[in-house]
């Protein structure tokens, strides 16, 4: 089928593959791989929405992720609310954190590398606070008791987690598709290319950037909630560690920042790479070394990410069709 003529067919095909995947094998390893790949695609999309579509490159997106993880766990452990309420609570907390950090940063006129560094600084501040106060459990973190019931957001069969993160990932992709097609997305693209030119066109750059940081923060916050419920333990180093920010950035940059499916492509590749290095080598930190090497290679040869390979192939096919059509007309 020609996906250029029927773009919806690609979405349907990918969704069908995703729905079938957990039934291909009963192996816990395979299902866990699928969960983690979709999880990194989801949180990678949160970075991509701000960094790829709007050009707001953040080094501290883990701040929103960590806030979401702690808020969802605190409302469950300290206030006795049902864990399912943690999902909207974490999204709201991430949105508020994204909006506030955006207001503080953009009011000060920070952009580019300065904005990237200030987000990293906020993430570190949140880590120190979480490490110091009693409500978060301090440096010991928070352990969620295991009660495997659907009402408690815990499942004996990991497939249920798979379908939850699949639904969240589909929702994040829908947001990316909306940005591609909407006037809001067009305004963000103008801001990404040149903020001064965007202002000259009458775009309220400050407001638009706050909006996208809020949306991006909400997605990252929801990712924090899922992480907490999947692993049942969080601490400041885990959920505010810079490695999570790096992974969010990596999956987007490697797959293709500013594209709809770039984070998904990058997440699958990084999940494969992570599992291979973990199973074949015992050297701690090797996966991060390989991530960095892969990123350098991608930036050097495919600056627009792996998705550029598909675009090149598409252009070559279009060129062949055009040449064939021209030769036929010439023969006639």
Mean pLDDT in residue range 295-317:
68
High-pLDDT (> 90) share of the chain, %: 64
Residue 271's pLDDT is what?
A: 84
Residue 272's pLDDT is what?
A: 84
**pLDDT digits over 90-103, tens only?**
999 999 999 999 99
SS3 content of the chain, % helix, strand, coil (to 5): 75, 0, 25
Specify which residues 234 forms β-bridges with.
142
High-pLDDT (> 70) share of the chain, %: 87
Report residue 197: phi and psi, to 5°.
-65, -40
**pLDDT digits over 189-223, tens only?**
999 999 999 999 999 999 999 999 999 999 999 99
Number of H-type helices and E-type strands within the chain? 14, 2
Q: Mean pLDDT of all residues in the chain?
A: 87
Task: Report the predicted TM-score, pTM, of the whole model to 2 decimal places.
Answer: 0.88
Distance CA 227, CA 279 (A): 22
Q: Which residue has the higher pLDDT, 99 or 289?
A: 99
pLDDT of 171 > 80? The answer is yes
Q: Which residue has the higher pLDDT, 110 or 278?
A: 110
Distance CA 24, CA 33 (A): 13
DSSP assigned state of 83: G
Q: Which residues contact 55 (CB under 8 A, 6 or more apart)?
A: 188, 191, 192, 193
């Amino acid at each position: 089928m020609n996906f250029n003529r029927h773009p919806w067919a690609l979405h349907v095909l990918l969704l069908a593959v995703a729905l079938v995947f957990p039934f291909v094998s009963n192996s816990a390893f395979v299902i866990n791989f699928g969960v983690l790949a979709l999880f990194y695609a989801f949180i990678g999309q949160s970075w991509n929405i701000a960094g790829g579509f709007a050009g707001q490159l953040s080094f501290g997106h883990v701040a929103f992720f960590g806030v979401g993880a702690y808020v969802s766990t605190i409302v469950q452990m300290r206030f006795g609310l049902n864990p399912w309420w943690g999902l909207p609570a974490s999204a709201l907390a991430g949105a508020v954190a994204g909006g506030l950090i955006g207001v503080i940063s953009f009011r000060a006129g920070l952009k580019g590398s300065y904005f990237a560094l200030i987000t990293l600084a906020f993430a570190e501040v949140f880590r120190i606070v979480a490490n110091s106060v009693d409500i978060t459990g301090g440096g010991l973190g928070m352990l969620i008791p295991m009660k495997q019931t659907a009402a408690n957001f815990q499942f004996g069969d990991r497939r249920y987690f798979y379908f939850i993160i699949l639904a969240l990932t589909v929702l994040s992709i829908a947001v990316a598709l909306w940005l591609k097609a909407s006037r809001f997305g067009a305004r963000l693209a103008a801001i990404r290319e040149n903020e001064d030119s965007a202002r000259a066109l009458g775009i309220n750059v400050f407001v638009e950037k706050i909006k996208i940081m809020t949306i991006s923060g909400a997605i990252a916050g929801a990712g924090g909630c899922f992480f907490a419920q999947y692993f049942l333990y969080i601490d400041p180093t885990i959920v505010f560690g810079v490695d999570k920010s790096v992974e969010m950035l990596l999956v987007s940059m490697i797959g293709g920042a500013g594209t709809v499916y770039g984070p998904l492509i990058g997440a699958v590749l990084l999940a494969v790479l992570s599992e291979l290095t973990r199973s074949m080598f015992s050297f701690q930190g090797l996966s991060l070394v390989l991530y960095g090497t892969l990123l350098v290679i991608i930036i050097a040869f495919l600056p627009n990410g792996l998705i550029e390979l598909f675009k090149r192939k598409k252009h070559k096919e279009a060129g062949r069709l055009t040449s064939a059509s021209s030769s036929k007309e010439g023969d006639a």
